């Protein structure tokens, strides 16, 4: 909340909005649409139909025309249905209770919590991808966020840590924090307000969180291995998750869904930001390596770094003598690199 009050400058046209109709509209538009694309649609909808009653009275065709280009027309159908339902059953006034809101067609728990908290300051935590990510890192929870157990666990935790007096502001704060500070890739740990209490950061596992169960569905994966060397030893880790190469060893991994571009400067920035490593020498950045598995194409690079000392957050990791790496079982992708194939 302190970060939100002093440093949050993420702008959204619907931010601070108290009108449940407009919050609902923005949430429905954003369900499967990127913010930059959805913004213009939101503004056009609000201009043409400033209230639930206006939308309810609109011709279907006119509303569909306005929706054109957003896709997933079911959302638009539900929008119209629900606007008419509210007009008929609630006299055009948006219901104020969570249970009533979540019962509306096309409104799931996330949207209902957003409307209930933003418009009516009701104590319901929103749980979107941003919130899951922040919580999983902050508490270093390795339960997969897309598993049934994970969804239950994170939803309960989100509700537990919610500031119940200021639910609207709090929900906005944590979502914006996830989108701008605790970002999926390259979170701003070094300057983060929560760094001192962040368990993921203190254990240097931020880049492994949140865990997702459905990694196997991904066809293209980018693996960037940091070979961190210090006084003749190298950081190694055993892969323990249900994923490819289970039980084999690897170096410090940063996985990405897209290609990243590394040079001396970006590597040092990354080490500083993520692992609090202020002094390091980048010894080598390998060319792109590839390995085709049955259902996945793995591409990546190896980044060799020499450290002057081991930072506290990496002290509890496994360090192995560099001249005895042959004793460990690595996946082929790594062996290829080590053998210079």
- List beta partners, residue 282: 305
The reply on whether position 210 binds ligand SF4 by CB under 6 A is no
Sequence-ordered list of residues with C-beta below 8 angstroms from that of 161, at least 6 positions apart, any chain: 125, 135
Q: Work out how close the CB of 336 gets to ligand SF4 at its nearest, in angstroms, rounded to a whole number.
A: 32
Catalytic residue among 27, 97, 233, 250: 27
Distance CA 131, CA 176 (A): 9
Q: Is 188 in the site for ligand SF4 (CB under 6 A)?
A: yes
Contact flag: residue 137 with ligand SF4 (CB under 6 A) = yes
Q: Binding ligand SF4 by CB under 6 A: which of 192, 211, 230, 334?
A: 192
Specify burial of residue 271 (Cβ count, 10 A radius: 0-12, 13-18, 19+).
buried
- In terms of CB distance, is 50 or 184 closer to ligand SF4? 184
User: Is the sign of the CA dihedral 150, 1, 95, 25 positive or negative?
Assistant: negative
CB of 304 to ligand SF4, least distance (A): 25
Stretch that binds ligand SF4, among 6-14, 15-23, 72-80, 185-193 (CB under 6 A): 185-193
Cβ distance to ligand SF4 smaller for residue 94 or 201: 201
Q: Give bridge partners of residue 228 from the DSSP assignment.
A: 305
Coil, helix or strand at residue 221: strand
Minimum separation from the CB atom of position 86 to ligand SF4 (A): 38
From the CB of residue 51, how many other CB atoms can be counted at a distance below 10 Å? 17
Stretch that binds ligand SF4, among 56-64, 73-81, 144-152, 179-187 (CB under 6 A): 179-187
Q: Are 144 and 212 in contact (CB under 8 A)?
A: yes
User: Can you tell me whether residue 92 is helix, strand or coil?
Assistant: coil
Between CA 21 and CA 87 the distance in angstroms is 12
Residue closest to 124 by CA, chosen among 160, 82, 174: 160
Q: Is 27 a catalytic residue?
A: yes
Binding segment for ligand SF4 (CB under 6 A), chosen from 76-84, 97-105, 196-204, 290-298, is 196-204
If one asks whether residue 259 binds ligand SF4 (CB under 6 A), the answer comes out as no
Q: Give the residue, chosen from 70, 194, 205, 328, that forms a contact with ligand SF4 under the rule CB under 6 A.
A: 194
The number of CA neighbours under 13 Å toward the Cβ of 122 is: 17
Give the span between the Cα atoms of 142 and 197, in whole angstroms: 17
Q: Is 201 in the site for ligand SF4 (CB under 6 A)?
A: yes
As measured in angstroms, the least distance from the Cβ of 114 to ligand SF4 is: 22
Nearer to ligand SF4, 208 or 304 (CB): 208
Query: How many helices and strands (H and E) does the chain possess?
Result: 14, 8
Exactly one of 135, 181, 244, 280 binds ligand SF4 (CB under 6 A); that residue is: 181
CB nearer to ligand SF4: give 58 or 260: 260
Provide, rounded to whole angstroms, the least separation between the CB of residue 140 and ligand SF4.
9
Do residues 224 and 334 touch, judged by C-beta distance below 8 A? no
Beta strands in the chain (DSSP E): 220-230, 233-238, 249-250, 252-256, 280-285, 289-292, 297-307, 318-321
Alpha helices by DSSP H, listed for 162-247, are 167-180, 199-202
Among residues 52, 56, 126, 198, which is the contact residue for ligand SF4, using CB under 6 A? 198
Is residue 310 within the footprint of ligand SF4 (CB under 6 A)?
no
Kindly state the smallest distance separating residue 316's Cβ from ligand SF4, in Å: 17
Active site residues: 27
**Contact residues for ligand SF4 (CB under 6 A)?**
134, 137-138, 181-182, 187-189, 192, 194-195, 198, 200-201, 206
């Amino acid at each position: 909340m302190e970060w939100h009050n002093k440093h949050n400058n993420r702008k959204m046209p619907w931010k601070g909005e108290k009108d449940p109709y407009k919050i609902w509209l923005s949430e429905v538009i954003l369900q499967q649409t990127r913010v930059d694309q959805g913004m213009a649609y939101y503004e056009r909808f609000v201009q043409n139909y400033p209230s639930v009653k206006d939308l309810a009275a609109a011709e279907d065709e006119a509303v569909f025309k306005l929706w054109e280009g957003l896709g997933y027309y079911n959302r638009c159908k539900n929008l119209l249905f629900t606007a008419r339902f509210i007009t008929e059953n609630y006299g055009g006034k948006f219901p104020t209770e969570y249970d009533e809101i979540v019962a509306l067609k096309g409104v799931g728990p996330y949207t209902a919590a957003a409307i209930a908290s933003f418009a009516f300051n009701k104590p319901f935590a929103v749980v979107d991808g941003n919130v899951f990510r922040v919580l999983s890192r902050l508490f270093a929870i390795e339960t997969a966020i897309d598993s049934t157990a994970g969804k239950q666990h994170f939803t309960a935790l989100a509700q537990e840590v919610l500031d119940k007096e200021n639910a609207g502001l709090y929900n906005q704060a944590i979502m914006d924090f996830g989108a701008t500070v605790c970002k999926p890739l390259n979170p701003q740990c070094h300057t983060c307000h929560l760094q001192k209490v962040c368990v993921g950061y203190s254990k240097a596992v931020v880049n492994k969180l949140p865990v997702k169960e459905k990694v196997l569905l991904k066809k293209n994966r980018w693996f960037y291995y940091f070979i961190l060397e210090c006084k003749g030893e190298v950081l190694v880790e055993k892969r323990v998750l249900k994923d490819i190469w289970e039980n084999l060893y690897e170096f410090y991994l940063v996985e990405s869904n897209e290609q990243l571009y590394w040079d001396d400067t970006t590597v040092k920035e990354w080490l500083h930001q993520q692992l609090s490593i202020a002094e390091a020498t980048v010894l080598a950045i390998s060319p792109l390596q590839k390995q085709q598995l049955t259902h996945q194409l793995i591409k990546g690079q190896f980044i060799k770094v020499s450290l002057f000392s081991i930072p506290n957050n990496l002290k509890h990791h496994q360090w192995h003598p560099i001249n005895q790496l042959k004793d460990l079982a690595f996946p082929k992708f790594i062996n290829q690199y080590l053998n210079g194939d």
